[in-house]
Amino acid sequence: MSAISPKTLRSLRAAVRRKLLPWFARHARDLPWRAEPRRPYAVWISEIMLQQTRVDTVVPYFQRFLARFPDPAALAAAPLQDVLKRWEGLGYYTRARQIHKTAQTLVRDHGGQLPADPDALAALPGLGPYTVAAVASFAFGHPLAVLDGNVIRVFSRLLALPDDVGLPATKKKLQGLADALLLRDKPAATNEAWMELGALICTPRAPRCPECPLRGVCRAAKSKTPEAFPNKKKKMKVPHKVVGAAVILNAKNQILIAQRNPEKGMLAGLWEFPGGKIAAGETMPECIARELKEEMGLDIEVGAHLVTVHHAYSHFTIELHAHFARIRSGRPRHLECSGHAWTTRDRFDDFPFSKADLEIIRALRALPKPPRLRDHFPAT
């Protein structure tokens, strides 16, 4: 990325004040975390939820979360399982565990409030440079420029930037551009305007260039090549995993669920229907039986198929086959899990599950009646 000429920089700064900010004042979405006066806690929670998640998905989660945890003290005092349950379905559960930890730090070291000083914000666990800039700017008015995916896309098109935006050197230079274009008297509005422009107008596909307030200074728009930018290195093929899960019934017609290790893994602390990845040459019943032996020390009989779930995580996809099962011998042990529980389909809401496991729950609840051991294993 070559240096931007002073003339270009002056032109862009003028367009920000004269075109972008008036456009934002007319078209800004009415989002709950933008309610005035800005609450630093609400801004922080919204920024964490919005990481790699769409705004329309976040809004109802945000509203429910703040209704349950209205301030850092309430969040810090809540059991982690309760926090994970309120986060259920939003994905990237490390975020939920991290904000719970951060809330406890706020209560212990900062009187239950987010500090206004950017350096103090940066010292909190789980707040990286982007989140610090966002909270400092939106909640406290500090002149710190925010650079997220929307802003990177807008800048790349404004400059028709050929550089790979995935490279740290390119991001560093784009951050420098964001800093240079920030109106220091209106830092929050400038940051939100760039982000709103990327979300509403300068979209990844089919950008609405004729409606863009910056079309007159946008090189990609002038060359009619906006979708050629930003330049990104092609992603590697995403791994695909085939997985089996057991819906184990007991004589009381309860269902066995297992808890993942709460200290490691992207789904740490969540509950699941026990199982695992299929090995070469295995049938699905063989896979499930082997996994239950390894995970919980159980000898099981695998029965009828319940549902197949397809789900995409950030770095891989899964094809999850759920089968009914029963225990032949053994009691659940925690060999590769941290806990277990026997429950019924009307009590699943007491536990936090991943999205894939929620699909199994949905299939169980769609059955005309609760599953019973004798219906699936009549010889028992």
Closest alpha carbon to 271 in 330, 350, 201: 350
Neighbours of 227 (CB within 10 A): 12
Q: Are 195 and 151 in contact (CB under 8 A)?
A: yes
Length of the chain as a residue count: 380
- Among 47, 88, 192, 272, the one annotated catalytic: 47
Which of helix, strand or coil describes residue 373?
helix
- Per the annotation, the verdict on 47 as an active-site residue is yes
* CA separation for the pair 360, 258 (Å, rounded): 14
The Cα 152–Cα 155 span in angstroms is: 5
Name, in order, each residue with C-beta under 8 angstroms of 123's C-beta and a sequence gap of 6 or more: none
Q: Which of 87, 129, 125, 83 is nearest to 108 (CA)?
A: 125
Residue 227 near residue 207, CB atoms below 8 Å: yes
Report strand pairing: 317-329 vs 240-249: parallel
Nearest one of 60, 138, 126 to 93, comparing CA atoms? 126
Q: Please name which of 232, 34, 49 lies closest in space to residue 152, comparing C-alpha atoms.
A: 232
Nearest CA to 141 out of 92, 94, 190 is that of 190
CA gap 309, 362 in Å, rounded: 11
Long-range CB pairs of 95-101 (<8 Å, 24+ gap) are: 95/48, 95/49, 95/51, 95/126, 97/268, 97/269, 98/48, 98/125, 98/126, 99/44, 99/45, 99/48, 99/75, 99/126, 100/75, 100/76, 101/125, 101/126
Calpha distance 116→106 (Å, rounded):
12
CA gap 337, 354 in Å, rounded:
15
Which sequence positions are flagged as catalytic?
Answer: 47
